[in-house]
Chains A and B, each alone.
Chain A
């Protein structure tokens, strides 16, 4: 016993002691190691890493890290090295997200703030960044007010508005699936605006609404809603859920055989959701905001290969691209303005077109002036259980130009006031 305990000249007790001592010095000087060099440009990422949006947050983080490496390899921002400070905003606690935004801005003096996936947290964070006048990029919170009624001069958004997604898909749905729709809509602003957008777009094309239900965010059992949807006998059942709600809803709808009676479809869909579904439930007509399998678009293959290296072989999703484009937006804004002053950078980004190696889309993407909303391509198509490879789960049938789906600037309700 004694001999094997002291193989390395240490017994267990002293190892534990050493470990304890090490952790005490860590804890006793909690903040010292976080002091950071002042000559670096800092980007603060305040996004979910735990909770229901953790998978999406992780992908956005991978994209952000890749962008960071590329920017630093090209000499940084204004010839200064760039550092990414990552904070977990949690998936639902606005208090924590605001706290972390304040921490990044006040203590760490970040030059840029990036986040959040959760729309509520994105809006709350925008309140902080606007108040402090910090350049802020929202990578993946879709609720319309971020670049609509609540828009701010300093807040830019990469992902689409719900209105854009609805407009992009409505025509295809009417043509291919039918005109009588039943909506299953998550009961919060994201779902409401998505449904309103679809109703508006469908009405123009002669579609009708047979009924609908608002399903609470976080619903696990959709059976009672599916029973009602079946009873209405529509041609299309529209699923507007996102994330885990979408996984649960589609999984159950397919088990009930509803896919054999009706056309199942919706607006926004994500690769993360399709990956979480068993093959038979990977069905329906949807909009993707970015897709990795675009063989003819320049730079996309390189991007996919780079991401695979960082993600353990997984392809990038739209989320990875959101994170990537967000960090690049920060660097490009500084470059364009030749300054780190937020107002100058924001001015410089009005109408700015992302370079093709960042936009990674056939028609490119630009920030619409006086709204700060990125206007990219949208990918309409259908989910597939088998593609060219295991993670090729979406078949793009039409690439929509963002500007055709974005509606007029007046319609967005954004009235931007600039600092004097």
Chain B
């Protein structure tokens, strides 16, 4: 590994070290482990969205639906089907991914605002199903009466149910697998093609690239990982309600990505961390925290034209 390669890897190493040490340094500066877990989970959701937004150039405003399907998937599996955390996550992910795969062909021809709006439309339909189908989902009161369960490997068992730190590392492992998969995909020829589509769709089309098909696959991958994040989110809260599917939740994901920087791989994670920590901290200090969070968004737009990480990036490269 040469020096320049090390230089390139430096940000990655830095991020992983921070994430690995989180349960130790975060409480030391006054945070708490669940805050870190939440940042990582929502970070995964924002990064999944950014797979589509930042690397394919397609804006979805309906990712909360698949986030929520993942969440209900895991909750209902544990509650009604089988008391296993892992099976729950798999079912949640499968449900979210399947829904995205089915809806995909209907919507991939649309672009820009139209794509964003049609994803809202489908997302809201899922929201209203969760909201109004009281007997199955618990409606507005949410799905309770279940909790995440210890991981049981037969020979050993890890108590992620009561030990917040163990759960954090469990989430981090799932996060690493998901993020690693996305990074690998982006570096593959398939990922390069996505970036080509983002840069100039028409040219990609002239080159004979089946653009719609690529967008469909990118959409499904993105929704798959956002449903993983949703499943983790439900496990973190031991609870799930329809708000997780509402369009404003999708808006939060978009904001996290834009806040951190859509054009960088880690940007959305940083955006999510800022979003989560800022809200958590400010809302303990003042009941007018919304003004400060809103002001922060405005300031980012005015002074950080490429998101928070965009500026750091530019400073590093210049």
Residues of A within 8 A of B (CB): 30-32, 34-35, 49-50, 85-88, 92-96, 98-100, 102-103, 106-107, 119-120, 123-124, 127-128, 131, 143, 145, 150, 187-190, 192, 216-217
Contact = CB atoms under 8 A, between A and B. Distances in A.
**Chain A CB within 10 A, most for which of B147, B239, B287, B289:** B239
A30 B147 contact: no
Interface residues of B, number: 40
Interface of B: 27, 29-35, 38, 131-132, 134, 138-142, 144-145, 147, 162, 164, 233, 236-241, 243-244, 277, 279-281, 283-284, 287, 289-290
B233 A95 contact: yes
Q: Is the interface of B mostly helix, strand, loop or mixed?
A: helix
A85 B241 CA distance: 26
A248 B246 CA distance: 22
B27 A107 contact: yes
A81 to B, nearest CB: 20
Contact of A98 (B27, B32, B239): B239
Contacts of B141: 119-120, 123, 143, 145, 188-190
B19 to A, nearest CB: 19
Contact of B237 (A50, A88, A124, A192): A124
27 contacts: A30-B29, A31-B31, A31-B281, A49-B283, A50-B289, A50-B290, A88-B287, A88-B289, A95-B237, A98-B239, A99-B35, A99-B237, A102-B34, A103-B32, A103-B34, A106-B32, A107-B30, A120-B140, A120-B141, A120-B241, A123-B142, A124-B239, A124-B241, A127-B147, A127-B239, A128-B238, A216-B132
Contacts of A127: 144, 147, 238-239
Contacts of B239: 94, 98, 123-124, 127
Contacts of A107: 27, 30-32
A192 B284 CA distance: 34
Contacts of B236: 95, 98
B243 A93 contact: yes
A14 to B, nearest CB: 21
Contacts, number: 112
Contacts of B290: 50
A66 to B, nearest CB: 17
Contact of B134 (A88, A100, A187): A187
Nearest to B142: A120
A106 B31 CA distance: 10
Contacts of A99: 34-35, 38, 237, 280
A124 B239 CA distance: 6
A131 B191 CA distance: 44
Residue with the highest number of chain B CB atoms closer than 10 Å, among A93, A128, A131, A187:
A93
A59 B313 CA distance: 47
Contact of B144 (A35, A123, A187, A216): A123
Contacts of B233: 95
A226 to B, nearest CB: 20
A85 B285 CA distance: 10
Given A99-B35, A103-B35, A120-B241, A34 B140 contact: no
Contacts of B238: 98, 124, 127-128, 131
The 10 closest A-B pairs by CB, nearest first: A31-B30, A188-B140, A124-B239, A107-B32, A189-B141, A49-B287, A98-B237, A120-B142, A88-B283, A102-B34
